[in-house]
Amino acid sequence: IDLVANVKNSTCKSGISNQGNIDLGVVGVGYFSGNVTPESYQPGGKEFTITVSDCALQGTGDVLNQLHIDFRALSGVMAAGSRQIFANEISSGASNVGVVIFSTQDSANTFNVLNASGGSRSVYPVMSDDMNGSSWKFSTRMQKIDPALSVTSGQLMSHVLVDIYYE
């Protein structure tokens, strides 16, 4: 048994728009044609906002912090063959389809919140005085997992845990 923990004194509370329920709608299998990769931001995804509050700020003064907004699969399982695509948790649902999340805070710098090895990219410089009550924009959409395989129809559901802390 490996038990691992990370205790931080610099955590924050979060609020997610629409209580964290994001309906990606209905699309046909043709939606997944083309060479759209997990790195490709595509307009038209579902937008959502994370609001940061109750950060236990350390020290005094208005200092620059690095705010981390980390996303990970609640089940701990990502889509097979990718560490950037959240898996479909419905085994009888749509196949070869998962979910990707992009940071859209800066429209000139949109990016998948996870790098190719599954590490978090969502790190934002923010001053102490601006952290509490700040809002951060994201977009999510469905993503074909293996470009060589077909997508089959069905339901899609993925539960994603959001951890927020600062350094």
Q: Any idea where the domains of the chain sit in the sequence?
A: 13-19+29-166
8 Å CB contact between 14 and 53: yes
Q: Give the mean pLDDT of 93-100.
A: 97
Pick the CATH number of 13-19+29-166 from 2.60.40.1090, 1.10.600.10, 3.90.440.10, 1.10.357.10: 2.60.40.1090
CA pair distance 104, 164, nearest whole angstrom: 17
**For the whole model, what pTM was predicted?**
0.91
Q: Residue 35 has what pLDDT?
A: 84
Work out the mean pLDDT of the chain and round it to a whole number: 91
**Secondary structure of residue 42 in the 3-state scheme:** coil
Q: Does residue 44 have a pLDDT over 90? A: no
CA distance 122 to 93: 29
- Which residue did the predictor score with more confidence, 5 or 112? 112
Residue 17 φ/ψ, nearest 5 degrees: -55, 145
* pLDDT tens figures, 109-143: 999 999 999 999 999 999 988 998 999 999 999 99
| DSSP code per residue over 53-85 | E-----SSS--EEEEEEEEEETTS-BPTT-SSS
